[in-house]
Amino acid sequence: MLNSPEIAKQHLIIFTRYPEPGKTKTRLIPALGSEGAAHLQRQMTEYTVFQAQELQKLTPLTFEVRFAGGNLQLMQDWLGFALNYQSQGEGDLGERMTRSLFDAFQRSAEQVIIIGTDCPGVNSQLLATAFEQLHSFDLVVGPAIDGGYYLIGLRRLIAQLFTNISWGTSQVLQQTINIVQKLNLSHIYLPPLGDVDRPEDLPIWQQTLDREVGNWKDYKAET
């Protein structure tokens, strides 16, 4: 770990990648170019951090940024020194998520949610709803339209949910739910949302910019 500050009972983990051209949002490079794709990654991560900060105004919450690519210095130069950064480390996505959840529960978190930065529909209100649902359910899942999920929240580490999953495919959600049912976990779904992964998904991000133009511009002016 890079650091281990105190965390609240409700803890949010943001998975992202340092926006290095040519190494991020690669499926969007044909439409945006390598610099444009990296810029989109930068924008979407900043937007997600903004939503986490908005949520902190509503409820006691800590959050961390789990990054791949780059290094701590580059992350701090980009997003500032006030945030908690952790490296995602080695392994496939399931191994990296398991590690992040283990760390959070070891540090006395009682509700932990993991999100990425690809789904601009994940705003502070939706996150507040997800944490609220964890009072009643073992698991909360945000289904992505492409067959994956954009959010997963737990009250304890259940490592089986992250093993033998075909990450990056349209089978991720169904494989996960099969495990949920086998383990007889109580669970609830959030509204299905679209990721921004391919050129045809770009209107989703543009609609978000149009809708958030006031708050987002104010935030960007301050950072």
- Output the pTM of the full model: 0.93
Share of the chain above pLDDT 90, in %: 88
Averaged pLDDT score across all residues of the chain = 92
CATH superfamily of 10-222: Spore Coat Polysaccharide Biosynthesis Protein SpsA; Chain A (3.90.550.10)
How far is Cα 181 from Cα 169, in angstroms, rounded to an integer? 20
Sheet (strand 187-189) strand order? 84-87, 62-68, 10-17, 111-115, 149-154, 139-143, 187-189
Angle at 20 between CA 27 and CA 81, to 5 degrees: 130
Query: How far apart (Å, rounded) are the C-alpha atoms in residues 195 and 24?
Result: 15
| Residues 175, 2: Cα–Cα separation, whole Å | 33
Share of the chain above pLDDT 70, in %: 93
Weakest mean pLDDT among 153-157, 189-193, 200-204, 206-210 = 206-210
Instruction: Give the start-to-end residue ranges of the domains of the chain.
Output: 10-222
Quickly state the pLDDT bin for 69 (edges 50, 70, 90). Answer: very high
Give me the DSSP letters along 68-83. Answer: ESS-HHHHHHHH-SSS
pLDDT, tens digit, 9 for 90 and up, residues 123-136: 999 999 999 999 99
What does the pLDDT look like over 213-222, one tens digit per residue? Answer: 666 555 554 5
